[in-house]
Amino acid sequence: MEHTWRWFGPDDPITLGEIRQTDATGIVTALHHVPNGEVWSIEEIEHRKAVIEAAGLRWSVVESVPVHEHIKWGGPERSRAIANYAQTLRNLGAAGLRTVCYNFMPVIDWARTDQRWSLPTGGFAMRFDFIAHAAFDLFILVREGAAADYTADEIARARAFIDAADEDTLTALQNTVLLGLPGSEESYDLESLRAGLALYDGLTAQDLRENLGTFLRGVVPAAEESGVRLAIHPDDPPRPLFGLPRVVSNADDAQWLLDAAPSWANGLTMCVGSYGSVSTNDVVEMTRRFADRIYFAHLRNVTIEQDGKSFFEDGHIDGGSDMVGVIRELLSEEQRRAATGHDAPVIPMRPDHGHFLLDDLSRRTYPGYGLIGRMKGLAQLRGVERALAATMAPV
């Protein structure tokens, strides 16, 4: 596999020089300064690529070209936004970039309730506490109809959470939910979040699926002609939030997506932590089943808590998913691709959502994207890969 590292551009507190020291060779980044829905120019793409290459690295994966909200809910700017997305893919292909990771999560991107949850070892992890999420939804956002999405016991526990929390706790919760996380191009206040959710009133999961299908049919031909592989990222977490449907949450969703636009250019990102945050997803089996259409891997792990809905970011080779099994399947697919003359036999992977450890605690970095925690994760993952590769028989 190609070992890559997510970099948020020139404003990232972690420099390209530091990334080189982690033994990553590829960069995963995006033009975050370009407004959602606008075309990425060839000049901007080439400039970013040159900056990365000057540091002795390679721009391996684009993560991500954001999908405009009008595409997701079917707004009046949908056709223009799809056309712009297709042109961006053409420009990326012209610059030699071949893999684009994106997602189709409406309004709220990936969701957590705690950016620094204390670990027994003294470090910190990110966490999704379902009751804290419910408390925000019911009693801070005060979303109309929210009570229908929770059991009576969950509502009572959410009320107790609010009653027991001090002002700092509630402010931190609100900021974590509203201010966005790395990779999310949107941030909100309470009123703008309510307004964003209102655009999806009455939208069903089937409606959202159809809008995803419309998007795919609009951009996959451009990806094909440009030699670009699209790799959709799953929902994080893979369950409805704030009354919004989610349609990239399990194996059935992944199969539907691949069938909606049959093409080698229409593929998947295997995010072990996202799929693995619900117990019904068997990530090893999913990796095996969809191996030939997996073009990128986020190798992180979570532990699901006793309520079955909360989870925290565990160590990369710890947690509830069989990371060794996933890496074995990815290496087997690489062997198959090499044996059949595939034009992209190597699958890029990156360590995702590392713990905050050591020097991470004293420097300002994005939530989940510290230096030391991810470097530790990358070292662990590389060790697993090396051990497996030494014992696997060639195809």
Tell me the per-residue pLDDT of 164-178, one tens digit each, with 9 for 90 and over.
Answer: 999 999 999 999 998
> Is 318 in the same domain as 231?
yes
Choice between 74 and 186, residue whose per-residue pLDDT is larger: 74
> Is 123 in the same domain as 53?
no
Catalytic one of 70, 298, 316, 355: 298
> Is 249 in the same domain as 342?
yes
| Domain final residue pick, 195, 212, 229 | 195
Q: Is 298 a catalytic residue?
A: yes
Average pLDDT over all residues of the chain: 95
> Is 168 in the same domain as 269?
no
Confidence of residue 182 (pLDDT cuts 50, 70, 90): low
Cα 342 from chain centroid (whole Å): 26
| 3-class secondary-structure state, position 121 | coil
Tell me the per-residue pLDDT of 184-232, one tens digit each, with 9 for 90 and over.
Answer: 556 788 999 999 999 999 999 999 999 999 999 999 999 999 999 999 9
Instruction: Tell me which residue range forms the domain holding 161.
Output: 116-195
> Is 65 in the same domain as 188?
no
Tell me the per-residue pLDDT of 343-384, one tens digit each, with 9 for 90 and over.
Answer: 889 999 999 999 999 999 988 888 899 999 999 999 999 999
Predicted pLDDT at 373: 97
| Domain final residue pick, 195, 223, 238 | 195
> Is 226 in the same domain as 298?
yes
User: Rounded to the nearest 10 degrees, how much is the dihedral formed by the CA atoms of 5, 9, 10, 16?
Assistant: 20
- Residue 360 belongs to domain with CATH number: 3.20.20.150
Q: Is 11 a catalytic residue?
A: no
Instruction: Tell me the C-alpha to C-alpha distance, in Å, between residue 54 and each of 17, 47, 49, 57.
Output: 10, 11, 9, 7
Q: Is 342 a catalytic residue?
A: no
Catalytic one of 314, 353, 355, 360: 353
> Is 190 in the same domain as 43?
no
Buried/exposed 298-309: b ≥16 CB within 10 Å, e otherwise: bbbbbbbeeeeb
Q: Tell me if the pTM is above 0.85.
A: yes
Contact 301, 320 (CB under 8 A): yes
Q: Is 233 a catalytic residue?
A: yes
Question: Cα–Cα distance between 382 and 2 in angstroms, integer?
Answer: 10
> Is 301 in the same domain as 155?
no
Confidence of residue 392 (pLDDT cuts 50, 70, 90): confident
Catalytic one of 236, 322, 352, 360: 352
| Domain final residue pick, 170, 195, 220 | 195
Q: Is 352 a catalytic residue?
A: yes
Query: Count of domains in the chain?
Result: 2
Q: Is 32 a catalytic residue?
A: no
> Is 75 in the same domain as 123?
no
Contact 113, 136 (CB under 8 A): yes
> Is 100 in the same domain as 249?
yes
> Is 27 in the same domain as 92?
yes
Q: Read off the pLDDT of each residue in 57-61 and give the average, rounded to a whole number.
A: 98
> Is 187 in the same domain as 216?
no
